[in-house]
Amino acid sequence: MMGVIEGDDFASWELDLRIGSADLAEIMGWVRREEYLYDYELTESQAKALEKFCLIALPRGLLFYLTTSGE
């Protein structure tokens, strides 16, 4: 997961999430296996769900993106 300041091109915050594929798919709304292979800009609700599920506190004021390994 990456956090980017709006208007910047580079991540100012990064974190490896420890979450299983099935749980991540449920949060992200993925149906097909191919969806695991893309990068996503997270909606506010997706970011909050990941924050709650992974028991983390996300920094405020960033746009969040998810990059998956497909595993």
Confidence label for 70 from pLDDT (cuts 50, 70 and 90): low
**What does the block give as tokens for 31?**
């149906």
Domains in the chain: boundaries: 2-67
Residue 1 has pLDDT above 60, yes or no: yes
User: Which residues pair with residue 40 across a beta bridge?
Assistant: 66
Residue 69 has pLDDT above 90, yes or no: no
**What does the block give as tokens for 29?**
């709304």
pLDDT tens track for 4-59: 999 998 999 999 999 998 999 999 999 998 888 888 999 999 999 999 999 999 99
Give residue 34's pLDDT.
85
Residue 59, helix vs strand vs coil: coil
**What does the block give as tokens for 41?**
């800009």
